[in-house]
Amino acid sequence: MSKVKIIDVTLRDGGYRNNFEFTADYAANAVGHLTDVGVVHAEVGYCNGSFVRKKEHGLSSSVSPEYLDSLRRAAHGQLGLCVMVHPRNVVGEDFEMLAEHGVGMIRVCLRADQLEQGLETIKLVKSFNFLASANITHITTQTPGVVTDIALRAEGAGADIIYFADSNGNMIPDDVELLISRISRRVHAPLGFHAHNNLSLALSNSIAAVDAGAEYIDTSICGMGKGAGNLHLGMFIAYLERIGSANGYDLVKALQLSEYTAESVPLSSLPAPLMDVMLGAYNLPFDVSQRLEDTMSRLQINSTFQALRAMHEQDLFARHAARPTVISRASFPARLSAEGKM
C-alpha cells in the first residue's frame, strides 16, 4: 500500500463540537503536533463561515489573517494549510487573503442543488493557483449516477482531488467500496473519503475507501467532529501500523496529541449521542432539528426516537413513490448492475 495522505479536519469539523471556540494557543499547538505525527495537510477552518453562518461561532469558523499566520509559523513549512469554503460565502478577495497568508489548498463544498455555483468556485480557486479539492457532500442522498456526474464535472472544472463525504454517517463498507471503485474508473483525479461515525463505521469505511483506491482520508483528533464525529486520527494510524503501512506516521505522537486534546478542549472526546446513531441508520442530516420539532408537534409524539422513526417512514414512502435510488447496501449494487457497470 502506498502512503495514504491524511488531511486532519479537527479545527474545522471538530468545531461543531465546541462552537468553533478553539483557543489560538491550542490551534497552533495542534498544527505543530500534527507535523510531528507526520500529517502533511490540516484543514484549519472555514472562510466566512459554515453553510449557515452564525455570529456566535468562534475562531475557526471564519479564518482571519492573524489566525492563519500563527498556524503557518507553527507548521514550519512541513504541513499544508487547507480551508473549506461554501461557494455562496466567498468572493475573489477572500482567496487573495488566503493566498497571502499561507493557505495552499481550498476545499470547495459541492451540493447537487447549487452545483453550478460550486463549479465556478473551483475555477476561481484554480485561478489563484491553489490546490482545489471538490468535496461532494451528503452523497447518500444522491443516486450513484448523480454523484458520478458531479465528480466528472468537478474534475472538468479543474479539481485536483475529488472527495466524497458521508455527511449523514449512513454508509457501510460495501457502499464505500462500490462508490470508490465505480468512480475511480471514470475520473483521473485522486479520490478522498470523509467519514462520519454515526454507526461506529468510520474506520471500517475509510479502510474500504483505501482498499478501493482512495488516496486521501480525513481524520480528526479524538474523532472530534459534527454529530457522532469523524475518523479518529490515532485509530487510523494504529490500523496502518497494524498492517505495516504506517509509512512515517507516528502512532505514539498521535495518541499523545489525542491525550493533550482531551485535556485541553472541552467536548473533544465524547461517546456518540444516541440521536446521531438514529440519524446514521435513517440517512437523516445533522441539521434536522426543525423538521424533528415539526414532526413531533404535528403527530403529537413525545419521544425524539419515535419521531425520527416516523420521519424515516415518511422518507421511505416518498422515495418509493418517486422511485429514486440512494446509496445503500441494497440499492447501490442493483443500480450499478442496471447501468451495466458491474
Could you tell me the three cell numbers for 321? Answer: 413513490
Which residues is 163 bridged to in the sheet? 135, 192
By the 10 Å C-beta count (0-12 exposed, 13-18 middle, 19+ buried), 95 is classed as: buried
Could you tell me the three cell numbers for 340? Answer: 451495466
Mean pLDDT within 66-78: 97
Question: CA-CA distance, 10 to 42, in Å (whole number)?
Answer: 8
Residue 7 has pLDDT above 70, yes or no: yes
Mean pLDDT within 317-322: 84
**Cα 258–259–260 angle (5° rounding)?**
90
In this prediction, residue 58 carries a pLDDT of 87
Residue 335 has pLDDT above 70, yes or no: no
Contact 22, 58 (CB under 8 A): yes
| Residue range(s) of every CATH 3.20.20.70 domain in the chain | 5-264
In this prediction, residue 334 carries a pLDDT of 45
Three-state DSSP at 164 gives strand
Closest CA to 236 of 195, 194, 203: 203
Q: Across the chain, what does the average pLDDT equal?
A: 91
Tell me the HSE value of 92 on the side-chain side, using a 13 A CA sphere: 5
In this prediction, residue 275 carries a pLDDT of 86
Contact 37, 250 (CB under 8 A): yes
In this prediction, residue 326 carries a pLDDT of 52
Confidence of residue 340 (pLDDT cuts 50, 70, 90): very low
Could you tell me the three cell numbers for 225? Answer: 467532529
pLDDT tens-place string over residues 111-169: 999 999 999 999 999 999 999 999 999 999 999 999 999 999 999 999 999 999 999 99
pLDDT tens-place string over residues 219-237: 999 999 999 999 999 999 9
pTM score of the predicted model:
0.87
Question: CA-CA distance, 16 to 107, in Å (whole number)?
Answer: 17
Strand-strand pairing, 161-165 and 191-194: parallel
Helical (H) or strand (E) element with 311: helix 304-322
In this prediction, residue 1 carries a pLDDT of 65
Assess if CATH 3.40.50.970 describes domain 5-264: no
Q: Report which residue type is found at 52.
A: V
